[in-house]
Structure 1
Amino acid sequence: MVHKKNVFMIIVVLAILIVLSSCNKESDSTDAITTASIVNTPEDFRRAISPDGTWIVAILQDMDIDQEIIIDGDFTRNDELYRKLAFYTQDENRKVTARYTLSAPKMVVRSPNTRIQSGIFKGDVYVEATGFHLVDAVVEGNIIFSSQEYLDSFSTDETSRVTGTVALN
């Protein structure tokens, strides 16, 4: 049974994502799809993170994927390369109201400037692009960078953490 509070939260998240996507300034050279993917199945998640997916992918529940996932493709938002994995819901004041966990044995990040925000990834992350960021997020595993350039461009805020090692492969 769906509770009224859950339906309200889904509507709020959708409204916020629609507003955010409508703020995009698209140019003729942009290859981004400006709508968000709000997913609740592994199949939908895998489609959304593909090169044919969207710049922002939001999950609305904990999710287990039993094979490696690959974040791939170049996406722009406000004329900047950017990809966001949102593992949370928020209220109308943008206060995080729930955090979700995505579990997979391995995540490969090939999209530049990918951000994991306000949730947990369980598994190892292999970074093959510049600008990987953690914002209010946890990686329960290792983060391995394929080059010094990618490691040097990594950032995390004070509320994020990695339970394993952060290393160069």
Structure 2
Amino acid sequence: MNKKLLSLLAVSTLSLGVLTACGSGEKKSEETKTEQSAEVFAGATAGTDNFDTLSKGLSKDGAWIAAISKDLDAADKTLNVEGDFKNKEGEEARKLALYTQDADRKVTDRYTLTVQKLEVNSPQFYISNGTVKGDVEVNAEGFHGQTGKGVDGEAMIDGNLIFKNQELMDAYNKLPSEEQVKVTGETTVK
């Protein structure tokens, strides 16, 4: 009888230990999911292949960064970039990522976003890698291309770059060449 009681007690203790371990793992997993969700809402969007999703990401209620995950053709549409945003360093910024990267942050693919027009109304907006095919109209300060190791000068506009006024164009033209976007069309003032 003592052996049965000891065996039952041992099994109960072991079961309790296993359940406790499983329970704490689930809690940690939930905490991780919550932290990841908070990061997503704090500023970044996953790449999309849908124009409406991209539009929402670049709206005034969107995120500081929006991305596409493959070439996206919306040749008959205007994409509006609205709102004031800050990046993770707390600096005013707005980014359109037209690429994917690996775990080491090396660019693995560049994409083309085809639109009738990309209208920029967010300050410090920049295009990172890839190509915008269509006209880009800049109505806010600080427009530029992404800079950094391996990405200097890799953004391109296959169309015209049109500034709202001479002051915006002059500020852009003063940027170092690696911060400027390659433009196949004309760079003009409205």
**Which range, TM-score by smaller chain?**
0.7 to 0.9
CA RMSD of aligned residues (A): 2.0
Provide the C-alpha distance between the structure 2 equivalents of 1:150 and 1:37, rounded to a whole number of angstroms: 30
C-alpha offsets along residues 55-98 of structure 1, whole Å, 9 cap, x if unaligned? Answer: 00011000011211111110012222100000001112221110
State TM-score, norm by structure 2: 0.68
| % identity of equivalent residues | 40
Change in CA separation of 1:158 and 1:74 when aligned onto 2, cut-off 3 Å? closer
Task: Using the TM superposition, name which of 146-155 and 100-109 deviates more.
Answer: 146-155
Match of 1:26 in 2: none
Match of 1:113 in 2: 124
- Equivalent residue letter for 1:63: L
Check the 8 A contact 1:62/1:101 in 2, yes or no: yes
| CA apart distance, 1:160 | 4.2
Check the 8 A contact 2:44/2:66 in 1, yes or no: no
Provide the C-alpha distance between the structure 1 equivalents of 2:187 and 2:69, rounded to a whole number of angstroms: 28
Q: Which has the higher contact order (CA 8 A, sep 6+)?
A: 1
State TM-score, norm by structure 1: 0.76
Provide the C-alpha distance between the structure 1 equivalents of 2:171 and 2:58, rounded to a whole number of angstroms: 21
Mapped pair 1:91 → 2:102: yes
- What is the aligned residue count? 141
Match of 2:189 in 1: 168
Q: Please identify the structure whose Cα radius of gyration is greater.
A: 2
Match of 1:104 in 2: 115
Check the 8 A contact 2:144/2:179 in 1, yes or no: no
**Secondary structure, in 3 states, of the residue corresponding to 2:43?**
coil
Check the 8 A contact 1:40/1:61 in 2, yes or no: yes
- Equivalent residue letter for 1:120: T
Over 6 Å off, 4+ runs: none
Task: Using the TM superposition, name which of 153-162 and 129-138 deviates more.
Answer: 153-162
Match of 2:155 in 1: 137
Q: As a proportion of its length, which structure holds more strand?
A: 1
Match of 1:127 in 2: 138
